[in-house]
Amino acid sequence: MKKGANVVFLPVGMGLGMALGAALGAATGDLALWLALGVAIGSGLGVALMGLAGVAGQAKEKEKGKDGGDTVHVSDGGASSASASDANCSADAGGCDGGGGGGD
């Protein structure tokens, strides 16, 4: 899929939303409300379709081996690694929370 091919979904979604909004507005007698809602819903639908097209395009590129090999490394903040001071935790020192205040 070309880079700019998913841009077409926004105007198409807005157009469909305006058409649906105009039809509902004429049927209910509140054209201003339904036209505005149609544009809003159509814009949201167009953006969602653009996102889906982008995801599908990335999946096709990855399938073909054109993926750049971008890897995202996620860290747990070091929570899974134990330090040497954790091995020496005792209740007299306040436990392993480092709060002190242990007893005799």
Q: Please report, for the chain, the start and end positions of each structural domain, with discontinuous segments joined by +.
A: 5-64
Q: What is the pLDDT of residue 30?
A: 94
pLDDT digits (tens, 9 = 90+) for 31-60: 999 999 999 999 999 888 888 887 777 777
13-17, 23-27, 79-83: which is most confident: 23-27
pLDDT at 86 over 60: no
The stretch 3-29 carries a mean pLDDT of 87
**Which residues lie closer than 8 Å to 18 by C-beta, 6 or more apart?**
35, 38, 39, 42
Residue at 23: amino acid letter? A
Tell me which of 5-14, 16-25, 79-88, 94-103 is least confident: 79-88
